Amino acid sequence: MYTVYILFSAIKAKYCIGCTGDFLEERIRKHNTNHKGFTGGVGDWELKYQEVFETKVLALNREKEIKNWKSRKMIEKLTTNF
């Protein structure tokens, strides 16, 4: 099983969209560690949305679809219904 997820950081006031085949809790923990990169250093990422898929291809396609929206408004609408 693969999960597409959306995280939110209040410190950065930004969303992070990703996909994982690992346990989602472990992936979020990694995002919240002090590392280089977009999610590193703030440690306040929290889950706002998730979808589960049977295959990696389906999950990656959905992740790409959400990222291609490039619209905070659409992402917030999706996460509000979660």
Closest CA to 72 of 4, 5, 8: 8
Q: What is the CATH number of the domain that holds 67?
A: 3.40.1440.10
Residue 37's domain comprises: 2-80
Strands 46-53 and 2-9: antiparallel
Domain count, the chain: 1
Whether 16 and 31 have beta carbons less than 8 Å apart is answered as: yes
Q: What is the pLDDT along the chain (82 residues), one digit of tens a residue?
A: 999 999 999 999 999 999 999 999 999 999 999 888 899 889 999 999 999 999 999 999 999 999 999 999 999 999 997 7
Whether 7 and 76 have beta carbons less than 8 Å apart is answered as: no
